Amino acid sequence: MNALVEAVLAQHGRERPALVGEGFAHSGRETLRAVCARAAYLGDRLAGAAYPHVGLLLENTPAYVWWLEAAALAGATVVGVNPTRRGADLLRDLTHTDCALLVTEARLLPLLADLPLAIPVLVVDSPEAAEALTPYADAGPPTTVPAPRTRLLLTFTSGSTGAPKAVVCSQGRLARAGDKLREQYGLTDADTGYACMPLFHGNALMGLWAPLLLAGGTIALRRRFSATGFLADVRAYRAGYFTYVGRAVSYVLATPPRPDDAENPLRLGFGTEAGAVDAARFEQRFGCRLVEGYGSSEGGCNLRQDPAAPPGAVGREGSGPYDDLAVVDPETGEERPRSRFDAAGRLVNGEEAIGELVNRTARAGFEGYWRNERAGAARLRDGWYWTGDLFHRDADGWFRFAGRSADWLRVDSENLAVADIENILARWDSAAAVAVYAVPDPVAGDQVMAAVELRSTGDPLALAAEFAGFLGEQRDLGTKMPPRFLRVVARMPVTATHKTAKTGLREERWDAVGDDLLLWRPYGRAAGAELEYRPFTGADREKLAALFAEHGRSELIVRNRMPRP
C-alpha cells in the first residue's frame, strides 16, 4: 500500500477546495485532473533518463503542488530548487542532483540566464507548456502504483553552514512523517493549513503538505512569506494550522499590534527554533499555541512533542517506535551526565552535560544523501545516527536544544551553548531578532558576540545602557554569557528557509560591519564595570589587533574578511 499515492487519488472526491491562495481556488477534482496530466507527461518525458529527476524552480503556487503530486504518481523524484541560489551555485544544484527536466515559471527565468544548462526547461506559464500538456489533458491515474520505497524527494539542507546537501526521501518516509503529524494534531478534512514557508524545503513538505494531503484538508498557498500579510491570509482562508521557523515568527511579532489580533481562526503552529519568549508572545497576541519540534530533513532523529514539556524542553523520547536517543560525548560516544539547574534556572553543569544528540537505532529514518557518501557516513557511525546538534538531558529525561555543532563557545575554559544565551537575549523587549555566535579571543578560546535587530532605533549610548541594564536583571545569565560584542543590524541575515545565516556574521566579526552600530565591553575593565558597553572605534580595532599579535593569534582575525554580498 502506498498511502501517499492513495491520498493524491482520493482528492477526486473532495467537496472542499484542495488548493486556495492568491486569486485561485481549485477543487480536489480539478487538482487531480491537473496532477494526472502532468504525471502522464513525466512518464513519457523521463522514460529514457538515467534518473527520473525533475527540478522544480517555482514559488508556492498550485503548479508546485501539481508537479509534486504528479511525480508521486509517476514514480519520479522532485528536486526542490532554491530560488535564492544564483549562478554557479544554482547550476551545481541542478547538475549534482542529475535533473533530467527543469520546471520553472516566467518570473524566475532570469535566474537561468547565461547558465550552460544541458537539460530541457518547461516554463509552466508559457504557451509551449500548455501545448506540451494538451495531449495528456484527459489522462487518468497510472495503472501501476509506485512502491513506498520509491524516491520522491531530493531536498537540500538549508545551507546555513556550508554547501547544501541533497537529502533522499522516499514516498513511504514522507507519508509516515505526515501521518504522525496528522494524527498527533487531529487534522481532518475540515482543516486548512497555511503554507507560508517555501515548498522546496522539508518544513512545508513534511510539516504541512503531507499531513494536510493525508487528512484530506485544504492547503492555502502564499507565494513567498510575508509578515505583514500573515494575519490577513489566515483570516481569508480560515486557516487553523501553519508551519514556521523561528525567524518568521519574530517577523510576524515585529508587525504593529492591533486590538483584534486574537480574532483569527488559528489554533496551532508547528515548527522549530521560535524560542520560549517568542512562542509566549505569539500565543498571548494571536491566541495560537506554537508547538516546537526537533527534526531535520534527514529524518534520522526526531523528538516527539509533549504538551507537558517544561519551558525550554523539546521532548523526552523519539517519534519512532524503536528510537533510542541519547546525549553523548562526540569523541568517545559515552553518554553525558544529566543536566542540573540552580534555583534561578541556570544550567550548572553544561561542561559535562552538553553533548551531541544521537539515535542509537541503526539508520533510523535516514535514507542518505544523493551522491555524497562521505557526508552520509559521517551521519551513520558505529551503527548510530549522529545529528551534529548539541543537547543536554535532565534527570527527568527532557531534552533541551543547545545549538548546532558550530554553535559551541568556549569562554575562559568554560563550554557554553549558543541556544541558552539566545533564549535569554530574546527577552529583551527592544530586540526583534537575536543571533549569538563565537568570535576568537586574543588569548585563548572564544568570546561571545551577538547580532540584534532592533524594533526601533535610538541613541547608541542610551542603547548601550539599556542593554547592560537588561543583562543585569537576568538571574539565569551566567558570568561568561554576556556578549563581548553587540552588533546592531538593520535586518537579520537569513537563508531562503528563514533560518538565521550565521556563517557571514561569524566571518565578519567586528571587522566588516559596514554602517552597523557595534558596541563592546573592553578587555581589562574593573569587575564593577563588567557590564558597561560603549561604541567600538577604529582605535579599539587597532588595539585589539595588537593584542592578538602579542599572543601569536593574528591568523585568527585575518581570515575570511570579505563582507557578505
Residue with the larger pLDDT of the pair 268 and 477: 268
pLDDT at residue 73, as a whole number: 98
Q: Give the mean model confidence (pLDDT) for residues 266-271.
A: 95
C-alpha cell at 236: 481569508
pLDDT at residue 226, as a whole number: 94
In tens, the pLDDT along 382-391 reads: 889 999 888 9
pLDDT at residue 527, as a whole number: 38
Residue that is last in its domain, among 379, 404, 429: 404
pLDDT at residue 562, as a whole number: 33
Burial category of 194 from C-beta neighbours within 10 Å (exposed 0-12, middle 13-18, buried 19 and up): buried
Do residues 351 and 480 share a domain? no
Do residues 374 and 488 share a domain? no
Do residues 342 and 486 share a domain? no
pLDDT at residue 357, as a whole number: 94
In the structure, what pLDDT confidence band is assigned to residue 526 with cuts at 50, 70 and 90?
Answer: very low
* Residue that the C-alpha cell 481562526 belongs to: 265
Polymer length of the chain: 565
pLDDT at residue 456, as a whole number: 84
Q: Give the mean model confidence (pLDDT) for residues 142-156.
A: 95
Q: Could you tell me the CATH number of the domain that includes residue 137?
A: 3.40.50.12780
pLDDT at residue 405, as a whole number: 67
Number of domains in the chain: 3
Q: Could you tell me the CATH number of the domain that includes residue 392?
A: 2.30.38.10
pTM of the model: 0.79
Q: Is residue 565 part of a domain?
A: no
Q: How many CB atoms neighbour CB 31 within 10 A? A: 22
Do residues 510 and 367 share a domain? no
Q: Is residue 234 part of a domain?
A: no
Do residues 117 and 25 share a domain? yes
In the structure, what pLDDT confidence band is assigned to residue 413 with cuts at 50, 70 and 90?
Answer: low
Mean pLDDT of the chain: 89
Q: How do strand 77-80 and strand 53-57 relate by DSSP bridges?
A: parallel
Instruction: Describe the crossing of helices 62-74 and 28-45 by its angle, rounded to 10 degrees.
Output: 60
Q: Is residue 285 part of a domain?
A: no
In sequence order, which residues have a C-beta less than 8 Å from that of residue 271 and are 6 or more positions away?
203, 207, 243, 244, 245, 246, 248, 249, 290, 291, 292, 293
pLDDT tops 60 at residue 558: no
pLDDT at residue 555, as a whole number: 60
In sequence order, which residues have a C-beta less than 8 Å from that of residue 175 and are 6 or more positions away?
2, 3, 4, 7, 148, 210, 214
In tens, the pLDDT along 452-475 reads: 999 887 888 899 999 999 999 998
Q: Is residue 501 part of a domain?
A: yes
In the structure, what pLDDT confidence band is assigned to residue 528 with cuts at 50, 70 and 90?
Answer: very low
Dihedral sign for Cα 547, 550, 551, 555, please. positive
User: Contact at 8 Å (CB) between 225 and 498?
Assistant: yes
In tens, the pLDDT along 323-354 reads: 899 999 988 999 999 999 888 787 888 889 98
58-95 residues labelled b (16+ CB within 10 A) or e (exposed): bbbbbbbbbbbbbbbbbbbbbbbbbbebeeeebbebbe
Do residues 425 and 385 share a domain? no
Do residues 430 and 391 share a domain? no
* Torsion angles phi and psi, residue 62, rounded to 5: -55, -35
Do residues 427 and 400 share a domain? no
Residue with the larger pLDDT of the pair 161 and 471: 471
Q: Is residue 277 part of a domain?
A: no
Residue with the larger pLDDT of the pair 2 and 310: 2
For residue 68, CA distances in Å to 117, 136, 219 come to 22, 17, 14
C-alpha cell at 253: 511579532
Highest mean pLDDT among 335-339, 377-381, 472-476, 497-501: 335-339
Count the alpha carbons within 13 Å of 153 in the hemisphere toward its beta carbon: 30
Residue that is last in its domain, among 404, 438, 463: 404
* Torsion angles phi and psi, residue 147, rounded to 5: -70, 155
Residue that is last in its domain, among 224, 250, 270: 224
Mean pLDDT lowest among 51-55, 102-106, 474-478: 474-478
Do residues 506 and 382 share a domain? no
In the structure, what pLDDT confidence band is assigned to residue 245 with cuts at 50, 70 and 90?
Answer: confident
Rg (CA), the chain: 25
Q: Is residue 320 part of a domain?
A: no
Ranges of H-type helices in 185-334: 202-204, 210-215, 230-237, 246-253, 276-286
Rounded CA separation 401/220 (Å): 31
Chain-centre distance of CA 538, in angstroms?
36
Rounded CA separation 388/376 (Å): 12
pLDDT tops 90 at residue 494: no
pLDDT at residue 497, as a whole number: 77
Do residues 386 and 432 share a domain? no
For residue 244, CA distances in Å to 201, 247, 254, 311, 473 come to 12, 8, 15, 19, 30
Residue range(s) defining the domain that contains residue 81: 3-224
Q: Is residue 317 part of a domain?
A: no
Do residues 372 and 470 share a domain? no
Q: Could you tell me the CATH number of the domain that includes residue 526?
A: 3.30.300.30
One-character DSSP codes across 340-397: -B-TT--BS-HHHH-EEEEE-SSSTT---BTT-HHHHHHHEETTEEEEEEEEEEBTT-
One-character DSSP codes across 111-132: GGTT----S-EEETTSHHHHHH
pLDDT at residue 160, as a whole number: 45
User: Contact at 8 Å (CB) between 171 and 148?
Assistant: yes
Rounded CA separation 435/437 (Å): 7
pLDDT at residue 559, as a whole number: 44
Residue with the larger pLDDT of the pair 562 and 493: 493
pLDDT at residue 412, as a whole number: 74
Instruction: Describe the crossing of helices 276-286 and 246-253 by its angle, rounded to 10 degrees.
Output: 50
Q: Is residue 62 part of a domain?
A: yes
One-character DSSP codes across 74-93: HT-EEEE--TT--HHHHHHH
pLDDT at residue 563, as a whole number: 33
Q: What is the DSSP letter of 460?
A: H
pLDDT at residue 313, as a whole number: 84
Do residues 377 and 486 share a domain? no
Ranges of H-type helices in 155-275: 171-184, 202-204, 210-215, 230-237, 246-253
